[in-house]
Structure 1
Amino acid sequence: MSRRPSGLSRRLGDGAPVPFTGSLHPKSRPSPFLSIGLVLLGAFLIIGYLYNSASGRDSFHTLRFQAVGSSCTSEIFQALPYLKNAYGDSMRKILHVGPDTCTVVSRLLREDDTEAWGVEPYDLDDADAKCNSLVRKGIVRVSDIKFPLPYRSKSFSLVIVSDALDYLSPKYLNKTLPELARVSSHGFIIFSGYPGQRTFKVDELSKFGRPAKLRSATWWIRFFVQSKIEENEDAIKKFELAAAKKHYQSGCQIFHLKSFI
């Protein structure tokens, strides 16, 4: 951001006469050397600003893209290879919970030996033909996750939830997290945004009913402890090791949690 030089003004007392320019002493006129120096200084500042802008343009746009358009649901596709390393055969029967679950389920169904189902927490007013087909077959269900999930206990080996819990208050999280643990047999995974990372469009407020509350890792871990939900340390280590080998860094927070025994 450029700084505007503040103008200097001469304070005049009330009733004090204003001197005519002709009465000013010749030495009060600005020196030509001073003017040249100011011009050169301004040129150097402009060149330096343009250089810094050019060198930092790519990183600025990258951060801006992540801040405005990022989605933890789309992050699942990036993390999928590392999830396979962490969970192995447990990736064969998956339930995804969150917005755009039709896209996630369709992608998972293309994986070898993988069964996938989905829960869409919000209305599917703009669903395409493929998504409507998944709903008709019962593969995808529209269900308010503030209430018990429409599945029996341990119906799935693994549950993945994204971009859904950020819209729930602690009151409802106390009900939803145990449900995610109940319907899974080998654990559940939460993809959540970082605080201050993303901004949401106005039309999302009408769909979700409230703005997202992006919470810190410290907040989530404290909440897990209070809810007596344990982190899956074994899965965490395997996931982080596989991700480190490929220099993968998630744009979202990823929590690996155990199912209730």
Structure 2
Amino acid sequence: MSRRPNTGRRFGDSGSMPFVGAFHPKSRPSPLLSVGLVVVGALLIVGYLYHGSGGQSGDIAALNRHDGGVSCTQEVQRLIPILKKAYGDSMRKVLHVGPETCSVVSQLLKEEDTEAWGVEPYDLDDADGNCKSLVHKGIVRAADVKFPLPYRPKSFSLVIVSDALDYLSPKYLNKTVPELARVSADGLVILSGYPGQQRAKVAELSKFGRPAKLRSSSWWIRFFIQTSLEENETAIKKFEQAAAKKSYKSACQVFHLKPLH
């Protein structure tokens, strides 16, 4: 099960310099003119390469180019220190739901006083040795997120979901998101792509059966209201403060919800 995005990037031939042969062969341009032409040519080449690379290194733009797109699951791994600051003791028992959950769970298990479990929406036939070990221990399991999770209410202090909800239609979201909140005791964190982003996981289409539907923050907020889910204002404030201290800007939308009681 290959999930590697196409990282190839081709640049067109820069072509020949437009100044070659522009002078009569018998004319002898001055050394100063020759130097000037070389400088102008160099500037044109640099400008071309700069334009081709995007010309800037903004957070989202840079991540869009990295590995061909944005992965909110990779973003979770970057967020773990900030989430610990925001949620404190609520990071003691964490469930991550999303592709490549073995990587997230492995990182969480390295954190002090943190237990972690994972739900992988893919099959795990070609999992590596570490992932197979987590599956064998019952820490990670493969499950279709369209259906109820095999956990009791409030089984985990915090539930984090990434790169899974974007592939569900509203019909299934109406069941899945409340289900994620049901198994959480202290909160639910959702990472979703921004509209217009290129997704890193091009192979996910064959798994989920539909392309990702990247929704705006206003769409998600309306959805939360319709499903009687409340945003966790306390967690949002602590998260924003922790992110500001580290000058962190997420490449994905991050929503903090209260659990269902």
Asked if 1:107 corresponds to 2:103, the answer is no
Query: How far is 1:82 from its partner?
Result: 1.0
Deviations 1:1-51 (A, max 9, x none): 9xxxxxxxxxxxxxxxxxxxxxxxxxxxxxxxxxxxxxxxx9999766444
More displaced stretch, 250-259 vs 61-70: 61-70
Output the amino acid matched with 2:214.
Answer: L
**Cα 1:129/1:201, change in 2 over 3 Å:** closer
Q: CA deviation at 1:67?
A: 8.1
Distance 1:110 1:231, change over 3 A: same
How far apart, CA to CA, are the structure 2 residues paired with 1:201 and 1:155? Answer: 29
Report the Cα offset of residue 143 of structure 1: 1.0
The answer (yes or no) to whether the contact 1:67–1:198 under 8 Å persists in 2 is no
Moved more, 194-203 or 110-119: 194-203
Contact 1:66–1:197 (CA under 8 A) maintained in structure 2: no
1:59 to 56, 61, 74: 56
- Provide the residue aligned with 1:121 in structure 2: 121
Secondary structure, counterpart of 1:130 in structure 2 = helix
- Percent identity at matched positions? 66
Structure 2 residue runs without a partner (length 5+): 1-11, 13-36
In the other structure, the counterpart of 2:87 is 87
Distance 1:201 1:189, change over 3 A: closer
Q: Normalising by structure 1, report the TM-score.
A: 0.78
Q: Which moved more, 1:189-198 or 1:65-74?
A: 65-74
How is 1:9-88 mapped onto 2 (pairs within 5 angstroms)?
A: 49-55=44-50, 57=53, 59=56, 62=62, 64-66=64-66, 68-88=68-88
What TM-score, normalized by structure 2, do the two folds share?
A: 0.78
Q: How many residues align?
A: 227
C-alpha distance after superposition, 1:140-190 (max 9, x if no partner): 111111111000000000000000001100000000011111000001000
Structure 1 portions without partners, runs of 5+ = 2-41
Normalized per residue, the structure richer in helix is 1
Question: What secondary structure does 2:56 align onto?
Answer: helix
CA separation of 1:111 and 1:202: change in aligned 2, threshold 3 A? closer
By relative contact order (CA 8 Å, sep 6+), the higher-ranking structure is: 2
1:136 and 1:202, CA in 2 relative to 1: closer, same or farther beyond 3 A? same
Asked if 2 retains the 8 angstrom alpha-carbon contact of 1:167 and 1:210, the reply is: yes
Could you say if the C-alpha distance between residues 181 and 63 of structure 1 is closer, same or farther in structure 2, counting changes exceeding 3 Å? closer
Q: Could you tell which deviates more after superposition, 222-231 or 191-200?
A: 191-200
Per the alignment, residue 21 of structure 1 pairs with: none
* Letter in structure 2 aligned against 1:52: G
Match of 2:226 in 1: 226
Measured on the aligned residues, the alpha-carbon RMSD in Å equals 2.8
Structure 1 residue aligned with 2:217: 217
Residue 175, structure 1, aligned to residue 170, structure 2 = no
**Deviation at residue 200 of structure 1 after TM alignment:** 5.2
1:23 maps to which residue?
none
Change in Cα spacing, 1:111 to 1:199, as seen in structure 2 (3 Å) is closer
Letter of the 1:53 partner, please give it. Y
